[in-house]
């Protein structure tokens, strides 16, 4: 279909909406899998209070990194920050299944969990504001309609993620400790790579800041610096 910048049918908006749906699936999948894996007899075998402690670095990162995000987004643009978020999530999901070998060595396990939590927070703080900026910067009209549709798609993704990831984890651990326990984490890794690939199709102007004279979500004029 012919794509105007403000139309929901724009292929750029389709890419952005798809990337946002994948992002929500990954984030909710991690929120579902981490406590299951951390407390599982076939996983990290942490007690309930230890699972809470393992999540503390995530809270610290979520609280502090937004201050750095403002400066980084201004310097490198929203597309680069979105890719940083995808990279952080990829590292988290690739690393978590490997921590099982450290569960009997707390001196190594806990620093690793701290690093994972901090990285996960960086991913969340980099990706969510960036995908919103990218979508809105492509719009000249229908801002409310497109954002409402994006939230609806994301809600469906958030609803499906715990069902799929939890079911995969249960099936993988049904017969005890097994290498396939990492399968749901590797599914999220694949989705992170898909998100990175989708971000390459967003036009450079999507990462530009709007000027004061531009209405709504209008993209910047052509002579502004591309990021």
Look at 224 and 98; give whichever has higher pLDDT.
98
Stretch 29-38: mean pLDDT, rounded?
95
| CATH entry, 11-201, from 1.20.1250.20, 3.40.190.10, 1.10.3720.10, 1.10.490.20 | 1.20.1250.20
pLDDT band at 209 (very low <50, low <70, confident <90, very high): low
pLDDT at 178: 75
CA gyration radius, the chain: 19
Sign of torsion, CA 199 203 205 206? negative
pTM of the predicted model, to two decimals? 0.85
Query: Strand, helix or coil at 218?
Result: coil
- The mean predicted confidence, pLDDT, of the chain is 84
Asked if 123 contacts 62 with a C-beta cutoff of 8 angstroms, the reply is no
Domain boundaries, the chain: 11-201
- Choice among 25-29, 41-45, 91-95, 185-189 with the minimum mean pLDDT: 41-45
């Amino acid at each position: 279909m012919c794509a105007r910048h403000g139309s929901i049918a724009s292929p750029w908006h389709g890419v952005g909406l798809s990337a946002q749906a994948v992002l929500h699936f990954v984030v909710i999948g991690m929120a579902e899998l981490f406590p299951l894996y951390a407390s599982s007899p076939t996983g990290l075998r942490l007690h309930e209070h230890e699972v809470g402690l393992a999540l503390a670095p995530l809270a610290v990162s979520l609280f502090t990194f937004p201050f750095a995000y403002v400066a980084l987004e201004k310097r490198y643009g929203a597309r680069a920050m979105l890719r940083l978020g995808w990279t952080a999530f990829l590292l988290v999901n690739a690393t978590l299944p490997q921590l099982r070998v450290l569960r009997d060595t707390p001196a190594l396990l806990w620093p690793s969990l701290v690093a994972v939590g901090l990285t996960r927070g960086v991913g969340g703080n980099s990706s969510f504001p960036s995908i919103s900026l990218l979508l809105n910067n492509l719009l000249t009209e229908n801002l409310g309609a497109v954002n409402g549709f994006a939230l609806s798609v994301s809600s469906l993704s958030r609803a499906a993620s715990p069902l799929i990831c939890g079911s995969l984890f249960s099936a993988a651990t049904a017969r005890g400790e097994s290498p396939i326990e990492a399968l749901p984490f590797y599914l999220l890794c694949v989705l992170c790579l898909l998100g990175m690939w989708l971000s390459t199709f967003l036009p450079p102007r999507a990462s530009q800041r709007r000027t004061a004279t531009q209405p709504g979500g209008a993209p910047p004029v052509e002579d502004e610096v591309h990021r």
